[in-house]
Copies of this chain bind each other. A is one copy, B any other.
Amino acid sequence: MTTPLPHSLRSDARDNRERLLAVARTTFAERGLDVAMREIARRAEVGPATLYRHFPTKEALVTEAFREQMTACTAIVDEALADPDPWRGFCLVIEAVCEMQARDRGFTAAFVSAFPRAIDFAADRGQALGKVAELARRAKAAGKLRPDFVPDDLVMVLMANGGIRAPSPPASVAASRRFAALLIQGMRAEPALSPLPPPVRLPLSADAGSRR
C-alpha cells in the first residue's frame, strides 16, 4: 500500500469492527457459540468478506469479543486470591462466575469451549483456572472447603448453572444466586461430612456449553 487510507475509510473499518464485535457479543450471549460466522455478518449488515477480513476465524472473533469479560474474570480471581480469607475468596469466585454466566451465556460458553487455535484465550483461561486451584488449596488448608472438592467441580458448576433457564435476565441472575448459595453450602467443610461420589473429568470441548 503506497498511499495512506483516507481517514473516513479507516474510520469505516473501525466502525465495522466494533459493530461486528457488538453483534457477536449479543448473539453469543443469547445463543451460545452455535452461531455461524455468516449469521454474525448478516446481523451486523456487512458482507462475509468484511467479517473474515477483521476476524479470519471464529476463534479470533470469540477471543476479541470476550476480551473484556476475560479481563473482568481475571480481575475477580486475582481479587479473590488476594483476600486474606481464602474461603471468602473462594465463595466470591463461585458467586461471581455464576452471576457473570447468568448475565452472559456467551462468555461462559466461550470459557468452557476448547478452541485449540484461540491461544491467548486459552492461556488466560489456564491462568485463571490455576489461580482458582490455588485458592481451593488454601481454603482446604484453612479447614473451610471440603477436602474432596476438586477444581473439575468448577466446570461442573458452570455447566449446571448454565442449565438454569429463567423467564427474564433478572430472574436468571436471582436463580443463579440462590443456586450458588446452595452449592457453596454443599462445599463447606462440615464436621460430619459424607464423602462425595468420585469426581468426573468434564473435558472442555468445542461443544460443551455451546448449546442452551
Compute how far the CA of A183 lies from the CA of B186 in the bound complex, rounded to whole angstroms. 6
A164: chain B residues within 8 A (beta carbon): 156, 159-160, 163, 202
Asked if A6 is at the interface of the complex by the 8 Å CB criterion, the answer is no
Give the residues in chain B near A209, CB-CB below 8 Å. Answer: 165
Q: Which partner residue on chain B sits nearest A170 by CB separation?
A: B200
Contact B156 A178 (CB under 8 A): yes
The oligomer's copy count stands at 2
Residue A167 is within 8 A (CB to CB) of chain B in the complex: yes
Interface string of A169-197 (1 = CB under 8 A from B): 00100110111011111110010011011
Flag whether A63 is at the interface (Cβ < 8 A): no
Q: Which residues of B sit under 8 angstroms from A205, Cβ to Cβ?
A: 165, 167
CB-based nearest B residue for A168? B200
C-alpha gap A163/B202 in the complex (Å): 12
Q: With contacts A160-B163, A212-B163 known, is A187 near B178, CB below 8 A?
A: no
A177 to B195, CA, bound (A): 12
Q: In the complex, which residues of chain B have a beta carbon less than 8 angstroms from the beta carbon of A177?
A: 197
Contact between B167 and A203, CB atoms less than 8 A apart:
yes
Contacting residues, chain B, for A208 (C-beta < 8 A): 165
CB pair A163–B166 under 8 Å, yes or no, is no
* CB of A193 to closest CB in B, whole Å: 7
Contact A198/B181 with A163-B159, A164-B156 known, Cβ cut-off 8 Å: no
Contact partner of A202 (CB less than 8 A), chosen from B159, B175, B185, B202, is B175
Residues of A bordering B, CB below 8 Å: 153, 156, 159-167, 171, 174-175, 177-179, 181-187, 190, 193-194, 196-203, 205, 207-209, 211-212
Give 5 CB contacts A-B under 8 Å. A164-B202, A167-B202, A167-B203, A167-B205, A178-B200
Query: Which 7 A-B pairs give the minimum distances between C-beta atoms?
Result: A163-B163, A186-B186, A160-B160, A212-B212, A185-B186, A182-B186, A175-B200
